[in-house]
Amino acid sequence: MNGSLDMTQSAPHSPIAGASRFPNIPLPPRAGAGLKTEHVDAILADDYSIGFLEVHAENFMGDGGPAHRALEAIRARFPLSVHGVGLSIGSESGLNPDHLERLAKVVERYEPAMVSEHLAWSSHDAGYFNDLLPVPYNAETLERVVSHVSQIQDRLKRRILIENPSTYVAFEQTTMSETDFIAEIARKSGCGLLLDINNVFVSATNHGWKPMHYLRDFPLELVEEIHLAGHAEDVDDEGDLLLIDAHDRPVADAVWKLYEIVISQAGAMPTLIEWDNDVPEWPVLRREAQLADAILARLGPALLGSRHAVG
């Protein structure tokens, strides 16, 4: 297939009931990348075939335009994961039904292999925030999040993945560990999990606990996708190191080491390279994906299907 993308043409969005517009391709246990429209032509022309692409659902909630034409070309050739950043599943105000309907239309239109969201909140009543804010881990929040995840899964008619957050503060109201809280969400709602290893490293550094202890307690048997990203260094008001989940640079060496440990003990699984700010040219992002592919090939295959907790 010619790798050039014709931005003047677009297949009409007119799915026939029961018919699939795209190949039904699951996410492979390989590296993928977050899709940026400026990379589409390079991806389609590249001899290196990326394992899958992931998009933020909110960028495709309009009806048409160049972004949809680009995604249709990508979806015709590659497995796709849809990652939501705005459902605010931890919100005390409940899910926004209009937002959920818009997400459902994106999922119905592109038939992704995976759909995921964050364990966070970003809206309250009529107020909306750009940040993914943390929730206290207790029985009341658990009941609310499980209810929202179930509502999403019922509307989408599919299982979703919930991602562990990067956090900078803790709540006095917390009575459960984050790993126990996430495991209970999965057990009660039936959802799967997305393990963001950079988030684990960022939160561990900011709160002063060991990332290996977190990974030891995380229910890896429920993980269906991994995220890797770069983080920025800052200092807090007391002069201590503060990491920011910036997605603006290569994956840090310490995060790569944690990733190797997870893959060596849990087996190969789809792994996304996230790079959302100061986005580089495609070859830079491809190089990060190839590093992950090399680790998956070296450490993953022997343990496929035999995941167990990191010891």
With contact defined as beta carbons under 8 Å apart, do 137 and 176 qualify?
yes
Q: What was the pLDDT predicted at 21? A: 84
Cβ within 8 Å of residue 130, ≥6 positions away = 122
Cα distances from 187 to residues 49, 180, 214, in angstroms, run 36, 10, 18
The alpha carbon of 231 is separated from its chain's Cα centroid by a whole number of angstroms, namely 16
Q: What average pLDDT does range 156-162 have in this prediction?
A: 97
pLDDT tens figures, 55-113:
999 999 999 899 999 999 999 999 999 999 889 999 888 999 999 999 999 999 999 99
pLDDT at 307 over 80: no
Cα distances from 212 to residues 26, 59, 215, 302, in angstroms, run 30, 34, 5, 22
Rounded CA gap, 84 and 62, in Å? 15
Closest of 117, 24, 52 to residue 273, by C-alpha: 52
Number of helical (H) and strand (E) elements in the chain, helices listed first = 9, 12
Farthest CA pair distance, the chain:
59
Confidence of residue 14 (pLDDT cuts 50, 70, 90): very low
Q: What was the pLDDT predicted at 132? A: 84
Q: What was the pLDDT predicted at 121? A: 82
Q: What was the pLDDT predicted at 13? A: 46
Q: What was the pLDDT predicted at 303? A: 53
3-class secondary structure, 220: helix
Rounded CA gap, 79 and 76, in Å? 8
Rounded CA gap, 44 and 220, in Å? 33
Closest of 30, 40, 79 to residue 291, by C-alpha: 30
Rounded CA gap, 90 and 123, in Å? 9
Closest of 51, 26, 54 to residue 292, by C-alpha: 51
Q: Is the dihedral of CA 119, 239, 252, 309 positive or negative?
A: negative
